[in-house]
Structures are given as C-alpha cells and as structure tokens.
Structure 1
C-alpha cells in the first residue's frame, strides 16, 4: 500500500466513523427519548414536538462536538509538524540519520534507503513529509476535513433520528410505537453489520452489538415512561 493509498483510506475511514456514529446516536437517543415520552404522555403532538426538538438540538450539539474535537486534533498535529520542521532545520544531520533508520525499519534495502534519504534531505518539503509520515505517524490532512466531518455528523444524526420519529408522523401513537421500534432496530442492525466492511469483525456480531445498545436505550426510555404514567 502506498502512502497516498494509506492517507486516502485513513481519511475515508474517519468519515465513515462520523457517519456511523452520527446515525447510531441519532437512532438510539431519539428512540429511547420518544418511546418514553409516548408512554408517559400518550399525546401525539408532544411526541412529535419532543422528537423534532431532540433531533434539531442534538444534531447541532454533535456537529459542534465533532468540530471542536477534530479541530483540536488538527491543531495539535500541526504543532507537532511545526516542531518537526524546526528539528529538520536545526538538526539536519541527526534527522537525516533518523530518516535512514526508519526507511530500513520499514523494510527498504540499505543501499536504496541511503539514496532515498539523500534525495529527501535535499528537499526540505519532502523531508518534512517523510518525517511527518514515518516518525509522527501522521497522514497529511487539510483544514477543510474538520468542517466536512462535522457536517457529516450533523446530517447523519438527523437521518438517524428520523428513523424512530417517522412512524409517529404518519400513524396514531399506539400503532406508531411498535413500528418506530421495529424500524429503528432494523436500522441499527444494518448500520452495525455494514460497518464491518471496514473491519474484520463478523457482520452479524457487529450488528447485534449495535442492536443491543439500542435495546438498552429503549428499555431505559420505556421504564421512565412507565414511571411517569404511574405517578400521574
């Protein structure tokens, strides 16, 4: 695998993580909340209003959280790259030896590693790229990726949140509840099993794991709704 392929795969993987996390969280939190509200209030309007507010507020919150965390990571990595740039400038000989050792460590023949090191050391930008990748273990990322990932989180949370809510938009509350639960459980299983395309986990185990998380939220929401009904 080339450096470009590795960087591209890492970028795709991080975007997929945002989408899966956003949809899963949107489904789980919205399902648990509106199920409890539906049981406790038995009011169609209240359920729809609550579900809409939850999706709107949480999608923005999750997007902001994603932006802040990814922005912080990006800025920290940029700081590390700047430090590496200074080391290349101030300790050129030591950095050249270090790069040669890393080439050899990565399996390059010594003769070829020396030529590669010589070529890299003659170009500060190339030297920095190699040291960033091999020593800092960082793939090059643009600042735009931070915004893109937060946008993916925002959109995927809304899509996930609509899974449990959509049944209440078209069906009476008593009929909507089992349909909402069924649709969301199927969606959670599909998300969990689909994610295995990017991992080595067995698809049905991954699907069942995500499904279990949804069931936990559902049970909590259900119990709180029942308690609210009992103390009316």
Structure 2
C-alpha cells in the first residue's frame, strides 16, 4: 500500500466516523428540542457521506456486485460467528451491561444481514453462472505475532542496522549537492575573474571569498532546512502521542483497521494491534510509520546535514582554485576547468552507481552541465574587462 492509498483510507475512516457522530449529535439535539442545531449536524453528516464515497471511488474498492457480495458476506459471517459473541462475553465479564446489550442488538441485526447477503449471493451466482473471487488472506506467522516482543532477535537487529544504513545513505544527497555546487561555483568564478584580469592573486581572492561564503551559506541553509523538517516531524509525533494518551481505544481501532486493509482478517489484526498497543512507545512508532509515514528512528539530523553540506561544498570549491596558486592566465584557467570537469564526471559516475544508472552516462551528464556553465562564465568575464 503506497502513501496515497494509506491517506485515502485514513480520510475515508475519518469521514465515515464523522458521519455517524454528526448523526448521533443531531438526534441528541432533536431530543433536547434544538431542531435548528440538528439541521446543521445533519447537513454536515450528509457532506461527510459524499466525501467518504469520493474517497472509496479513488480507492477503487467498489468492485463487481458479485465480488462485493462475497466480501460483505465473509465480513458479516466473521462478525456474527466470532466478533460479536466475543464482544458480548467480554462486556459481561467487565461488568458493562449497556455495552453487552448494544453488542447483542447489533449481533441480532447482523445475523439477519448475513442471512440476506447469503441468499443474494446464491441468487446472483445462479443467475450469472459465475462464482465470486476468493479473497486470499495472509497467515499469521510467528514473526508477526512476536512483533511486540522486547527481545531483539538477530534478524530484528539486522533490520535496525539496515534502517540506519539507509538513513546515512540519504545524507549523500547533501554531499552530492554541496560538492557539485562548490565545483560549479569555483569553476565559474575563476574563469570569469581570469577573463577580466590577468592577475592570479585577484582570481584567488575572489574564488576563496566565493567558496568560503558559499560554504557558510550552504551549511546554514542545510541546517535550517533540516531543523525545520525535524521540528515539523516532531510536532506530528507529539500530536500522535497525545492522541494515544487521550484516546487509546480509538488509536487501537485505527491500527486494527490498518492491518485489516493490509489483508488480515479481523481476529488476526486485533491480536497484532493489541500486542503493539500494550507498549505505548511501540504503538507510537507503529502509528507514526503507518499513519503519518514517519519513522521516529530516522528523523533529520540538522548538525550532521550541515557538516556534510559544508565539508562537501568547500572540498568541491577548493579543487578548481588549486591551479591559480601555481600559474596564471589561460594555463591556470584551462587546468582549473579540466580539474572541475573531471571531478564533476567522477561525482556523476559515483551518483550513477548509487542510483543504479550507467556510471558513464551519469558522469557525462553532470560533466556536460558543469563544463558548459564554466565555459559560459569565462566568456561572460571576457565581455566585461576591468
């Protein structure tokens, strides 16, 4: 399930819940003699229904009538034969007679629904000469049932190590960006200034100023951007933690529904969710990953991002300036541009290997772009001599 699919299901559940809540609030308003308020609730409930149906359409969950009947028959059978009998027994054991009565009323109604759905399914299968598609359900494996165990197995440790490796790999973005920007900036400033003056010291002063200023600017920008991203993610995690603290039952129900959407029958989804919910930290981590798409173990690290950006920028920026320490004029410019172009090619090749592309093509692409910019800058400098 991709991120958008998960978001659609989350939105659908929210709209469906709001519809029932608003309807109940409207009935209470009528009971208390406030029909004008009840009208507002009912209008909002109708709108939520429209939204929920729109989300379902986008989810492509409304299939053929035969398949729809098969799916609801299986769900109703589970509710009648397993879910509600257990709910009734647990409510009575907890001393909640009003809940037991509510469950029993629903159970009796669901029994009638199941009978009618089964009749409709048999009728439609006879009429069409087809049978509804079977719904494949994944088994409840040992690995899944043990998800909330505190002991970290070797396989679990391997997963954690892999997560950390991927998180550190993401910092290559800062390295590639910083080094490429530093190379292009220095290779641009050097030829541009050299095109306007023949003094290598002037080129060095201008180049070093550009590189040092760029290093500070890029590092600060990376730090602020990464910090802002981390703060946004931490705010979302705090909000989710507050929801778990104030409405644990609702969060548990949401988690059960998420596992059902992944293909688990209700009983297995409930077992997994209840194991996870027994540990609030694990519940927060699971809800963050499944509902928000965030990983508490892989939040942005502003300081490391800034250091990676700054170090890569200054490393890339200093390389094209080296020839100006030993030569001047066209020779220094040629060697500077050559070093920058070769470095751009090497960096592009490394990037290509990392993303699974041809190292040669990726290197040539980056080299062509960087080389074109440096050459253009040189001739711009020649147009404005000082």
Counterpart check, 1:50 vs 2:210 = no
CA distance in 2, matches of 1:127, 1:204: 46
Partner residue in 1 for 2:341: 185
CA distance, structure 1, for counterparts of residue 329 and residue 275 of structure 2: 70
Query: Residue 308 of structure 2 corresponds to which residue in structure 1?
Result: 152
Shift of 1:143: 7.3
Paired position in structure 1 for 2:177: 21
Matched residue SS, 1:42: coil
1:91 deviation in Å? 2.5
Residues 59 and 116 from structure 1, CA distance in 2 versus in 1: closer, same or farther, beyond 3 angstroms? same
Structure 1, unaligned runs of 5 or more: none
Q: Distance in 1 between matches of 2:251 and 2:377?
A: 57
Instruction: State the alpha-carbon separation in 1 of the partners of residues 258 and 357 from structure 2.
Output: 31
| Partner SS state of residue 158, structure 1 | helix
List aligned pairs for 1:79-158, cutoff 5 A: 79-106=235-262, 112-141=268-297, 145-158=301-314
Query: CA 1:97/1:57 → structure 2, altered by over 3 Å: closer, same or farther?
Result: same
Indicate yes or no: 2:191 matched with 1:40.
no
Report how far residue 219 of structure 1 moved.
Answer: 3.0
RMSD: 2.3
Which of the numbers 219, 224, 228 marks the counterpart of 2:384?
A: 228
- Residue 206 of structure 1 corresponds to 362
Encode CA deviations 1:118-150: one digit per residue, 9 max, x unaligned: 111111111001111221111225778210110
Please name the residue that 2:186 is paired with: 30
Contact 2:226 2:300 in 1 (8 A): no
Q: Please give the alpha-carbon distance, in whole angstroms, between the structure 2 residues aligned to 1:13 and 1:170.
A: 37
Q: Quote the residue 1:194 is aligned against.
A: 350
The structure with the larger Rg is 2
Segments of structure 2 that go 5 or more residues without pairing to the other structure are 1-154
More RCO (CA 8 Å, sep 6+) = 1
What TM-score comes out, normalization by structure 2 length?
Answer: 0.55
Structure 1 segments (4+ residues) deviating >4 Å:
104-112, 141-144
Q: How many Å separate the matches in 1 of 2:165 and 2:259?
A: 22
Residue 356 of structure 2: SS of its match in structure 1?
Answer: coil
Quickly say closer, same or farther: Cα 1:26–1:121, change in 2 above 3 A: same
Find the partner of 2:222 among 66, 69, 81. 66
The reply on whether 1:166 has 2:307 as its aligned counterpart is no
